[in-house]
Structure 1
Amino acid sequence: MTGAPPVLIGCSHGTDSVAGRVAIRSILSAVRVARPDLDVREAFVDVQDPKVFDVVGDAVAGGGAAVVVPLLLSLGFHVRTDIMSAVLDRAAAAADVLGPDPRLVEILVDRLIAAGAGPNDAVVLAAAGSKDPRAAEAVEAVAAGLRAVWRGGPITVGYGAGTTPRVPDAVAAARAAGAPRVVVGSYLLAPGYFHDRVLEAGADVVSAPLAPDDRLTPIVLDRYAAATDRAVVAPED
Protein backbone atom coordinates (compact mmCIF):
# COMPACT_ATOMS: atom_id res chain seq x y z
CA MET A 1 0.00 0.00 0.00
CA THR A 2 1.07 3.59 -0.58
CA GLY A 3 0.29 6.82 1.21
CA ALA A 4 -0.83 7.02 4.83
CA PRO A 5 -1.09 3.74 6.73
CA PRO A 6 -4.59 2.42 7.40
CA VAL A 7 -6.44 3.91 10.32
CA LEU A 8 -6.27 1.61 13.33
CA ILE A 9 -9.74 1.25 14.82
CA GLY A 10 -9.77 -0.41 18.21
CA CYS A 11 -13.24 -1.91 18.57
CA SER A 12 -14.51 -3.12 21.92
CA HIS A 13 -17.92 -4.28 23.10
CA GLY A 14 -18.77 -1.16 25.05
CA THR A 15 -19.68 -0.91 28.72
CA ASP A 16 -21.52 1.22 31.26
CA SER A 17 -18.65 0.66 33.71
CA VAL A 18 -16.52 3.77 34.16
CA ALA A 19 -13.56 1.61 35.19
CA GLY A 20 -14.10 -0.55 32.13
CA ARG A 21 -14.09 2.44 29.81
CA VAL A 22 -10.87 3.71 31.37
CA ALA A 23 -9.23 0.29 30.97
CA ILE A 24 -10.11 0.03 27.28
CA ARG A 25 -8.99 3.57 26.58
CA SER A 26 -5.68 2.80 28.27
CA ILE A 27 -4.97 0.24 25.55
CA LEU A 28 -5.53 2.69 22.72
CA SER A 29 -3.65 5.45 24.54
CA ALA A 30 -0.63 3.16 24.80
CA VAL A 31 -0.93 2.27 21.11
CA ARG A 32 -0.89 5.98 20.20
CA VAL A 33 2.28 6.47 22.27
CA ALA A 34 3.97 3.46 20.67
CA ARG A 35 2.95 4.42 17.14
CA PRO A 36 2.48 8.19 16.86
CA ASP A 37 2.45 7.81 13.07
CA LEU A 38 -0.90 6.01 13.18
CA ASP A 39 -4.38 7.47 13.27
CA VAL A 40 -5.91 5.48 16.14
CA ARG A 41 -9.64 5.63 16.71
CA GLU A 42 -12.10 4.03 19.11
CA ALA A 43 -15.30 2.19 18.18
CA PHE A 44 -17.89 -0.06 19.78
CA VAL A 45 -20.39 -2.74 18.86
CA ASP A 46 -22.84 -2.12 21.71
CA VAL A 47 -23.67 0.17 24.66
CA GLN A 48 -21.34 3.03 23.64
CA ASP A 49 -20.94 5.27 20.62
CA PRO A 50 -19.53 5.68 18.03
CA LYS A 51 -20.45 2.36 16.45
CA VAL A 52 -17.86 0.53 14.42
CA PHE A 53 -19.78 0.78 11.14
CA ASP A 54 -19.77 4.58 11.35
CA VAL A 55 -16.13 4.85 12.41
CA VAL A 56 -15.01 2.68 9.49
CA GLY A 57 -17.10 4.79 7.12
CA ASP A 58 -15.44 7.98 8.34
CA ALA A 59 -11.97 6.43 8.16
CA VAL A 60 -12.27 5.28 4.55
CA ALA A 61 -14.01 8.41 3.26
CA GLY A 62 -11.94 10.18 0.66
CA GLY A 63 -9.87 7.17 -0.29
CA GLY A 64 -8.45 6.11 3.07
CA ALA A 65 -8.21 2.61 4.47
CA ALA A 66 -8.79 1.10 7.90
CA VAL A 67 -8.03 -1.95 9.98
CA VAL A 68 -10.44 -2.85 12.76
CA VAL A 69 -8.63 -4.54 15.64
CA PRO A 70 -11.19 -6.25 17.89
CA LEU A 71 -10.37 -5.42 21.49
CA LEU A 72 -11.90 -8.77 22.32
CA LEU A 73 -10.25 -11.94 23.55
CA SER A 74 -12.07 -14.45 21.37
CA LEU A 75 -14.39 -14.82 18.42
CA GLY A 76 -18.10 -14.41 18.78
CA PHE A 77 -21.24 -12.81 17.40
CA HIS A 78 -19.93 -9.26 17.47
CA VAL A 79 -16.83 -10.14 15.45
CA ARG A 80 -18.71 -12.26 12.91
CA THR A 81 -21.59 -9.83 12.51
CA ASP A 82 -20.89 -6.24 13.58
CA ILE A 83 -17.21 -5.99 12.73
CA MET A 84 -17.35 -8.02 9.54
CA SER A 85 -20.35 -5.99 8.35
CA ALA A 86 -18.45 -2.79 9.04
CA VAL A 87 -15.55 -3.76 6.75
CA LEU A 88 -17.53 -5.53 4.03
CA ASP A 89 -17.10 -3.96 0.57
CA ARG A 90 -14.98 -1.16 2.00
CA ALA A 91 -11.27 -0.36 1.98
CA ALA A 92 -11.04 -2.00 5.36
CA ALA A 93 -10.09 -5.26 7.02
CA ALA A 94 -10.88 -6.97 10.30
CA ALA A 95 -7.83 -8.11 12.25
CA ASP A 96 -7.77 -11.19 14.45
CA VAL A 97 -8.97 -10.99 18.03
CA LEU A 98 -6.36 -10.62 20.77
CA GLY A 99 -6.41 -14.22 22.00
CA PRO A 100 -5.02 -16.71 22.27
CA ASP A 101 -1.55 -15.29 22.78
CA PRO A 102 1.27 -16.27 25.15
CA ARG A 103 1.55 -12.66 26.28
CA LEU A 104 -1.99 -12.89 27.63
CA VAL A 105 -0.91 -15.92 29.64
CA GLU A 106 1.94 -13.86 31.10
CA ILE A 107 -0.53 -11.20 32.20
CA LEU A 108 -2.83 -13.84 33.70
CA VAL A 109 0.02 -15.26 35.75
CA ASP A 110 0.85 -11.82 37.11
CA ARG A 111 -2.80 -11.16 37.91
CA LEU A 112 -3.08 -14.46 39.80
CA ILE A 113 0.07 -13.74 41.79
CA ALA A 114 -1.16 -10.23 42.60
CA ALA A 115 -4.46 -11.71 43.81
CA GLY A 116 -2.58 -14.00 46.18
CA ALA A 117 -3.16 -17.32 44.40
CA GLY A 118 -1.03 -20.07 45.91
CA PRO A 119 0.22 -23.55 44.98
CA ASN A 120 -2.66 -25.34 46.71
CA ASP A 121 -5.43 -23.30 45.10
CA ALA A 122 -7.64 -24.54 42.32
CA VAL A 123 -7.85 -21.99 39.50
CA VAL A 124 -10.92 -21.42 37.35
CA LEU A 125 -10.15 -19.47 34.20
CA ALA A 126 -13.24 -17.29 33.68
CA ALA A 127 -14.04 -16.19 30.12
CA ALA A 128 -17.00 -14.27 28.72
CA GLY A 129 -18.10 -17.17 26.49
CA SER A 130 -19.71 -17.51 23.10
CA LYS A 131 -21.81 -19.98 21.13
CA ASP A 132 -19.05 -20.06 18.52
CA PRO A 133 -17.04 -23.25 19.22
CA ARG A 134 -13.88 -21.52 18.03
CA ALA A 135 -14.14 -19.18 21.00
CA ALA A 136 -14.09 -22.09 23.45
CA GLU A 137 -11.15 -23.62 21.58
CA ALA A 138 -9.24 -20.35 21.96
CA VAL A 139 -9.98 -20.18 25.69
CA GLU A 140 -8.87 -23.79 26.11
CA ALA A 141 -5.62 -22.89 24.35
CA VAL A 142 -5.04 -20.13 26.88
CA ALA A 143 -5.86 -22.52 29.71
CA ALA A 144 -3.31 -24.98 28.33
CA GLY A 145 -0.73 -22.22 28.18
CA LEU A 146 -1.49 -21.30 31.77
CA ARG A 147 -1.17 -24.92 32.91
CA ALA A 148 2.26 -25.09 31.29
CA VAL A 149 3.66 -22.26 33.41
CA TRP A 150 1.53 -22.07 36.55
CA ARG A 151 3.05 -23.85 39.52
CA GLY A 152 -0.12 -24.48 41.39
CA GLY A 153 -3.28 -26.52 41.62
CA PRO A 154 -5.62 -27.71 38.86
CA ILE A 155 -6.84 -25.26 36.23
CA THR A 156 -10.32 -25.53 34.75
CA VAL A 157 -12.45 -23.21 32.64
CA GLY A 158 -15.77 -21.49 33.25
CA TYR A 159 -17.84 -19.18 31.05
CA GLY A 160 -20.11 -16.24 31.66
CA ALA A 161 -22.46 -17.03 28.76
CA GLY A 162 -22.79 -18.91 25.49
CA THR A 163 -21.44 -22.26 26.60
CA THR A 164 -20.82 -24.41 29.64
CA PRO A 165 -19.69 -24.88 32.32
CA ARG A 166 -20.69 -21.52 33.67
CA VAL A 167 -18.29 -19.89 36.12
CA PRO A 168 -20.33 -20.63 39.29
CA ASP A 169 -20.60 -24.29 38.28
CA ALA A 170 -16.87 -24.51 37.59
CA VAL A 171 -16.14 -22.94 40.97
CA ALA A 172 -18.51 -25.36 42.71
CA ALA A 173 -16.95 -28.33 40.90
CA ALA A 174 -13.46 -27.27 41.94
CA ARG A 175 -14.60 -26.96 45.54
CA ALA A 176 -16.37 -30.32 45.41
CA ALA A 177 -13.14 -31.89 44.13
CA GLY A 178 -11.52 -30.97 47.41
CA ALA A 179 -9.71 -27.72 46.69
CA PRO A 180 -9.06 -25.88 49.96
CA ARG A 181 -9.46 -22.60 48.11
CA VAL A 182 -10.76 -21.63 44.67
CA VAL A 183 -9.29 -18.71 42.76
CA VAL A 184 -10.87 -17.31 39.62
CA GLY A 185 -8.46 -16.03 37.01
CA SER A 186 -10.40 -13.34 35.19
CA TYR A 187 -9.78 -13.83 31.46
CA LEU A 188 -11.60 -10.61 30.71
CA LEU A 189 -10.13 -7.49 29.21
CA ALA A 190 -11.74 -4.92 31.51
CA PRO A 191 -14.16 -4.43 34.39
CA GLY A 192 -17.83 -4.49 33.47
CA TYR A 193 -20.88 -6.72 33.40
CA PHE A 194 -19.10 -10.07 33.08
CA HIS A 195 -16.47 -9.28 35.69
CA ASP A 196 -19.22 -8.25 38.11
CA ARG A 197 -20.84 -11.67 37.58
CA VAL A 198 -17.49 -13.39 38.17
CA LEU A 199 -17.20 -11.60 41.49
CA GLU A 200 -20.53 -13.19 42.46
CA ALA A 201 -19.56 -16.73 41.38
CA GLY A 202 -18.55 -18.00 44.81
CA ALA A 203 -14.75 -18.07 44.51
CA ASP A 204 -12.51 -17.21 47.44
CA VAL A 205 -10.41 -14.87 45.33
CA VAL A 206 -10.92 -13.23 41.92
CA SER A 207 -8.03 -11.75 39.97
CA ALA A 208 -8.23 -8.40 38.20
CA PRO A 209 -8.99 -8.16 34.46
CA LEU A 210 -6.12 -7.98 31.97
CA ALA A 211 -6.22 -4.25 31.18
CA PRO A 212 -4.50 -1.94 31.73
CA ASP A 213 -1.19 -3.59 30.88
CA ASP A 214 1.61 -2.48 28.57
CA ARG A 215 1.90 -6.01 27.14
CA LEU A 216 -1.43 -5.55 25.40
CA THR A 217 0.04 -2.83 23.16
CA PRO A 218 2.27 -5.08 21.02
CA ILE A 219 -0.55 -7.60 20.68
CA VAL A 220 -2.83 -4.92 19.22
CA LEU A 221 -0.08 -3.71 16.90
CA ASP A 222 0.75 -7.25 15.78
CA ARG A 223 -2.90 -7.88 14.90
CA TYR A 224 -3.01 -4.57 13.02
CA ALA A 225 0.17 -5.29 11.08
CA ALA A 226 -1.03 -8.73 10.04
CA ALA A 227 -4.20 -7.26 8.53
CA THR A 228 -2.91 -4.15 6.78
CA ASP A 229 -2.35 -5.88 3.43
CA ARG A 230 -6.05 -6.75 3.35
CA ALA A 231 -7.16 -3.16 3.95
CA VAL A 232 -7.11 -2.25 0.27
CA VAL A 233 -9.37 0.02 -1.68
CA ALA A 234 -12.40 -1.91 -2.85
CA PRO A 235 -12.65 -2.13 -6.66
CA GLU A 236 -15.27 0.04 -8.30
CA ASP A 237 -18.18 -1.61 -10.08
Structure 2
Amino acid sequence: MNSPILIACAHGTSSKLGAAEVNALRDGIAALRPGLDVREAYVDVQDPDLPAVVAGLPAGETAVVVPLLLSVGYHVKVDIARAVKSRPDTLAAAPLGPDPRLAALLDQRLREAGVTDNDAVILAAAGSSDPSASGNVEELAGQLRSLRSNRIVAAYGASAKPSVPEAVAMLREEAAGGAGAGDSAGGVDLGGRVVIASYLLAPGFFHDQLAKAGADLVTAPLLPSPVLASIALERYDAALAAAGQPLA
Protein backbone atom coordinates (compact mmCIF):
# COMPACT_ATOMS: atom_id res chain seq x y z
CA MET A 1 0.00 0.00 0.00
CA ASN A 2 1.39 3.40 -1.02
CA SER A 3 1.60 6.32 1.39
CA PRO A 4 -0.93 9.10 0.84
CA ILE A 5 0.20 11.82 -1.53
CA LEU A 6 1.77 14.92 0.03
CA ILE A 7 0.94 18.19 -1.75
CA ALA A 8 3.54 20.73 -0.68
CA CYS A 9 1.62 23.97 -1.17
CA ALA A 10 3.60 27.21 -1.09
CA HIS A 11 2.50 30.81 -1.54
CA GLY A 12 4.36 31.36 -4.81
CA THR A 13 6.89 34.02 -5.75
CA SER A 14 8.28 35.83 -8.78
CA SER A 15 11.77 35.62 -7.25
CA LYS A 16 13.91 33.02 -9.00
CA LEU A 17 16.01 32.55 -5.86
CA GLY A 18 12.93 32.28 -3.67
CA ALA A 19 11.37 29.72 -6.02
CA ALA A 20 14.60 27.71 -6.02
CA GLU A 21 14.68 27.66 -2.20
CA VAL A 22 11.08 26.38 -2.05
CA ASN A 23 11.85 23.75 -4.69
CA ALA A 24 14.82 22.64 -2.59
CA LEU A 25 12.53 22.41 0.45
CA ARG A 26 10.17 20.18 -1.50
CA ASP A 27 13.11 18.01 -2.57
CA GLY A 28 14.22 17.86 1.06
CA ILE A 29 10.80 16.57 2.13
CA ALA A 30 10.98 13.82 -0.49
CA ALA A 31 14.54 12.91 0.53
CA LEU A 32 13.49 12.43 4.16
CA ARG A 33 10.71 10.03 3.16
CA PRO A 34 11.92 7.94 0.16
CA GLY A 35 9.06 6.69 -1.98
CA LEU A 36 6.61 9.38 -0.83
CA ASP A 37 4.80 11.10 -3.70
CA VAL A 38 5.46 14.81 -3.06
CA ARG A 39 3.67 17.18 -5.41
CA GLU A 40 4.07 20.89 -6.13
CA ALA A 41 1.28 23.48 -5.74
CA TYR A 42 0.81 27.18 -5.06
CA VAL A 43 -1.95 29.49 -3.82
CA ASP A 44 -0.72 32.57 -5.71
CA VAL A 45 1.74 33.86 -8.33
CA GLN A 46 3.03 30.50 -9.61
CA ASP A 47 1.65 27.42 -11.32
CA PRO A 48 0.52 24.73 -10.85
CA ASP A 49 -2.24 26.25 -8.74
CA LEU A 50 -3.62 24.17 -5.89
CA PRO A 51 -7.17 23.59 -7.25
CA ALA A 52 -5.74 22.16 -10.49
CA VAL A 53 -3.35 19.88 -8.60
CA VAL A 54 -6.16 18.57 -6.38
CA ALA A 55 -8.47 18.06 -9.37
CA GLY A 56 -5.77 16.02 -11.11
CA LEU A 57 -5.17 13.56 -8.26
CA PRO A 58 -5.82 9.86 -8.91
CA ALA A 59 -9.33 8.83 -7.93
CA GLY A 60 -9.60 7.03 -4.61
CA GLU A 61 -6.13 7.99 -3.35
CA THR A 62 -5.73 9.95 -0.13
CA ALA A 63 -3.80 13.22 -0.32
CA VAL A 64 -2.65 15.71 2.31
CA VAL A 65 -2.13 19.38 1.52
CA VAL A 66 0.77 20.64 3.66
CA PRO A 67 0.92 24.45 3.68
CA LEU A 68 4.49 25.65 3.27
CA LEU A 69 3.30 28.74 5.13
CA LEU A 70 4.26 30.09 8.54
CA SER A 71 0.84 30.82 10.03
CA VAL A 72 -2.88 30.31 9.71
CA GLY A 73 -4.50 32.97 7.52
CA TYR A 74 -6.61 33.49 4.41
CA HIS A 75 -4.63 31.07 2.26
CA VAL A 76 -5.01 28.29 4.84
CA LYS A 77 -8.57 29.03 5.92
CA VAL A 78 -9.99 29.79 2.46
CA ASP A 79 -7.80 28.76 -0.49
CA ILE A 80 -6.53 25.49 0.94
CA ALA A 81 -9.76 24.66 2.77
CA ARG A 82 -11.77 25.17 -0.43
CA ALA A 83 -9.44 22.97 -2.46
CA VAL A 84 -9.54 20.21 0.16
CA LYS A 85 -13.35 20.34 0.32
CA SER A 86 -13.56 19.95 -3.46
CA ARG A 87 -12.33 16.34 -3.43
CA PRO A 88 -12.99 13.32 -1.21
CA ASP A 89 -10.02 11.74 0.56
CA THR A 90 -8.15 15.05 0.67
CA LEU A 91 -6.91 16.42 3.99
CA ALA A 92 -5.36 19.70 5.13
CA ALA A 93 -2.36 19.76 7.47
CA ALA A 94 -1.40 22.63 9.76
CA PRO A 95 1.06 25.27 8.50
CA LEU A 96 4.73 25.11 9.45
CA GLY A 97 4.49 27.74 12.16
CA PRO A 98 4.44 28.57 14.94
CA ASP A 99 6.95 26.01 16.16
CA PRO A 100 9.78 26.23 18.72
CA ARG A 101 12.19 24.92 16.07
CA LEU A 102 11.45 27.96 13.93
CA ALA A 103 12.23 30.19 16.91
CA ALA A 104 15.53 28.32 17.30
CA LEU A 105 16.23 28.83 13.59
CA LEU A 106 15.53 32.56 13.92
CA ASP A 107 17.88 32.66 16.90
CA GLN A 108 20.50 30.98 14.72
CA ARG A 109 19.99 33.58 11.95
CA LEU A 110 20.38 36.37 14.52
CA ARG A 111 23.58 34.83 15.87
CA GLU A 112 24.92 34.38 12.33
CA ALA A 113 24.29 38.08 11.74
CA GLY A 114 26.20 39.07 14.88
CA VAL A 115 23.21 40.41 16.80
CA THR A 116 24.03 41.33 20.42
CA ASP A 117 21.88 41.46 23.55
CA ASN A 118 21.71 45.26 23.26
CA ASP A 119 20.11 45.17 19.81
CA ALA A 120 16.32 45.53 19.54
CA VAL A 121 14.76 42.86 17.30
CA ILE A 122 11.70 43.12 15.06
CA LEU A 123 10.16 39.78 14.17
CA ALA A 124 8.98 40.60 10.64
CA ALA A 125 6.21 38.44 9.18
CA ALA A 126 4.36 38.80 5.89
CA GLY A 127 1.10 39.72 7.62
CA SER A 128 -2.56 38.81 7.21
CA SER A 129 -5.93 40.41 7.89
CA ASP A 130 -6.88 37.26 9.82
CA PRO A 131 -6.30 37.76 13.57
CA SER A 132 -5.26 34.10 13.87
CA ALA A 133 -2.17 34.84 11.79
CA SER A 134 -1.07 37.66 14.09
CA GLY A 135 -1.70 35.37 17.05
CA ASN A 136 0.59 32.77 15.50
CA VAL A 137 3.33 35.36 15.00
CA GLU A 138 2.98 36.62 18.58
CA GLU A 139 3.29 33.02 19.79
CA LEU A 140 6.49 32.64 17.80
CA ALA A 141 7.76 35.94 19.23
CA GLY A 142 7.19 34.52 22.71
CA GLN A 143 9.17 31.43 21.80
CA LEU A 144 12.01 33.62 20.53
CA ARG A 145 11.95 35.67 23.76
CA SER A 146 12.54 32.46 25.68
CA LEU A 147 15.82 32.09 23.78
CA ARG A 148 17.07 35.69 23.80
CA SER A 149 17.11 38.66 26.17
CA ASN A 150 16.61 41.23 23.41
CA ARG A 151 13.66 43.59 23.21
CA ILE A 152 11.54 41.73 20.61
CA VAL A 153 8.44 43.07 18.87
CA ALA A 154 6.36 41.55 16.08
CA ALA A 155 5.59 43.55 12.93
CA TYR A 156 4.15 42.88 9.50
CA GLY A 157 4.74 43.51 5.82
CA ALA A 158 1.05 43.96 5.01
CA SER A 159 -2.52 43.74 6.33
CA ALA A 160 -1.66 43.92 10.05
CA LYS A 161 -0.20 46.44 12.50
CA PRO A 162 2.34 47.57 13.31
CA SER A 163 4.01 47.64 9.93
CA VAL A 164 7.72 46.90 9.90
CA PRO A 165 8.66 50.57 9.25
CA GLU A 166 6.36 51.62 12.11
CA ALA A 167 8.09 49.16 14.44
CA VAL A 168 11.50 50.47 13.38
CA ALA A 169 10.40 54.04 14.14
CA MET A 170 8.96 53.00 17.51
CA LEU A 171 12.18 51.30 18.57
CA ARG A 172 14.27 54.26 17.42
CA GLU A 173 12.08 56.48 19.61
CA GLU A 174 12.44 54.14 22.56
CA ALA A 175 16.22 54.14 22.17
CA ALA A 176 16.18 57.94 22.16
CA GLY A 177 14.13 57.98 25.37
CA GLY A 178 10.96 59.27 23.71
CA ALA A 179 7.36 58.16 24.03
CA GLY A 180 7.00 54.43 24.51
CA ALA A 181 10.33 54.04 26.28
CA GLY A 182 10.63 52.81 29.85
CA ASP A 183 8.30 50.05 31.01
CA SER A 184 7.56 48.81 27.49
CA ALA A 185 11.24 48.31 26.89
CA GLY A 186 11.33 45.64 29.56
CA GLY A 187 14.42 47.09 31.19
CA VAL A 188 16.61 46.08 28.24
CA ASP A 189 19.30 48.54 27.20
CA LEU A 190 18.24 49.81 23.78
CA GLY A 191 21.56 51.46 23.05
CA GLY A 192 22.27 48.98 20.25
CA ARG A 193 20.93 48.59 16.75
CA VAL A 194 17.45 47.93 15.41
CA VAL A 195 17.51 44.54 13.72
CA ILE A 196 14.85 42.90 11.56
CA ALA A 197 14.57 39.12 11.93
CA SER A 198 13.06 37.94 8.66
CA TYR A 199 10.26 35.52 9.54
CA LEU A 200 9.84 34.57 5.90
CA LEU A 201 10.60 31.30 4.16
CA ALA A 202 12.64 32.62 1.26
CA PRO A 203 13.73 35.70 -0.71
CA GLY A 204 10.96 37.50 -2.56
CA PHE A 205 8.85 40.65 -2.51
CA PHE A 206 8.29 40.85 1.25
CA HIS A 207 11.92 40.14 2.10
CA ASP A 208 13.04 42.82 -0.37
CA GLN A 209 10.79 45.35 1.40
CA LEU A 210 12.54 44.71 4.72
CA ALA A 211 15.71 46.33 3.41
CA LYS A 212 13.73 49.57 2.89
CA ALA A 213 12.26 49.72 6.42
CA GLY A 214 15.10 51.69 7.99
CA ALA A 215 16.66 49.06 10.26
CA ASP A 216 20.39 48.65 10.79
CA LEU A 217 20.37 45.00 9.79
CA VAL A 218 18.07 42.41 8.21
CA THR A 219 18.69 38.71 8.77
CA ALA A 220 18.45 36.06 6.06
CA PRO A 221 15.14 34.20 5.58
CA LEU A 222 14.54 30.80 7.17
CA LEU A 223 15.52 28.78 4.11
CA PRO A 224 17.75 26.96 3.49
CA SER A 225 17.42 24.76 6.56
CA PRO A 226 16.62 21.04 6.93
CA VAL A 227 14.32 21.77 9.89
CA LEU A 228 11.55 23.02 7.56
CA ALA A 229 11.35 19.66 5.76
CA SER A 230 11.15 17.81 9.08
CA ILE A 231 8.32 20.04 10.29
CA ALA A 232 6.43 19.60 7.00
CA LEU A 233 6.55 15.82 7.35
CA GLU A 234 5.38 16.03 10.96
CA ARG A 235 2.40 18.13 9.83
CA TYR A 236 1.61 15.51 7.16
CA ASP A 237 1.81 12.65 9.68
CA ALA A 238 -0.31 14.55 12.21
CA ALA A 239 -3.05 15.24 9.66
CA LEU A 240 -3.24 11.56 8.76
CA ALA A 241 -3.25 10.50 12.40
CA ALA A 242 -6.07 12.96 13.21
CA ALA A 243 -8.12 11.50 10.36
CA GLY A 244 -7.39 7.91 11.44
CA GLN A 245 -5.48 7.25 8.24
CA PRO A 246 -2.43 4.95 8.08
CA LEU A 247 0.85 6.36 6.78
CA ALA A 248 1.26 3.48 4.36
The alignment's TM-score, normalised by the length of structure 1, stands at 0.93
Q: How far is 1:231 from its partner?
A: 8.7
Amino acid at match of 1:218: S
* 2:42 pairs with one of 21, 41, 44: 44
Q: How far is 1:5 from its partner?
A: 1.5
**1:78 is matched with which residue?**
75
Amino acid at match of 2:230: P
**1:199 is matched with which residue?**
211
Amino acid at match of 1:195: H
**1:156 is matched with which residue?**
153
For 1:1-237, list aligned pairs within 5 A. Answer: 3-59=1-57, 61-90=58-87, 91-151=89-149, 153-178=150-175, 179=190, 180-229=192-241, 230=243
Consecutive unaligned residues in structure 2, runs of 5 or more: 176-189
Q: What CA distance in whole angstroms lies between the structure 1 residues aligned with 2:100 and 2:35?
A: 27
Q: Which moved more, 1:50-59 or 1:10-19?
A: 50-59
Amino acid at match of 1:53: P
Q: What CA distance in whole angstroms lies between the structure 2 residues aligned with 1:43 and 1:32?
A: 15
Q: How far is 1:107 from its partner?
A: 0.5
Q: Deviations over 1:50-80 (max 9, x none)?
A: 0111112222x23211100000001111112
Amino acid at match of 1:214: P
**2:187 is matched with which residue?**
none
Q: Which moved more, 1:140-149 or 1:175-184?
A: 175-184
Displaced runs of 4 or more, over 4 A:
none
Q: Deviations over 1:11-49 (max 9, x none)?
A: 011000011101111111111111012100110011100
Indicate the percent of aligned positions where both proteins have the same amino acid: 50
Consecutive unaligned residues in structure 1, runs of 5 or more: 233-237
Q: Give the SS at the match of 1:46.
A: coil
Q: Give the SS at the match of 1:149.
A: coil
**1:235 is matched with which residue?**
none
Contact 1:67-1:231 at 8 Å conserved across structures: no
Q: Give the SS at the match of 2:146.
A: helix
Q: What CA distance in whole angstroms lies between the structure 1 residues aligned with 2:244 and 2:204?
A: 31
Q: Give the SS at the match of 1:177.
A: helix
Q: Give the SS at the match of 1:144.
A: helix
Q: What CA distance in whole angstroms lies between the structure 2 residues aligned with 1:95 and 1:57?
A: 18
Q: Give the SS at the match of 1:9.
A: strand
1:231–1:200 CA distance, 2 compared to 1 (3 A): farther
Q: What CA distance in whole angstroms lies between the structure 2 residues aligned with 1:46 and 1:211?
A: 19
Q: What CA distance in whole angstroms lies between the structure 2 residues aligned with 1:22 and 1:64?
A: 29
Contact 1:6-1:231 at 8 Å conserved across structures: no
Amino acid at match of 1:183: V
Amino acid at match of 1:191: P
Q: Give the SS at the match of 1:36.
A: coil
Contact 1:126-1:185 at 8 Å conserved across structures: yes
The alignment's TM-score, normalised by the length of structure 2, stands at 0.89
Q: What CA distance in whole angstroms lies between the structure 2 residues aligned with 1:93 and 1:135?
A: 21
Q: What CA distance in whole angstroms lies between the structure 2 residues aligned with 1:218 and 1:20?
A: 19
Q: CA RMSD in A?
A: 1.3
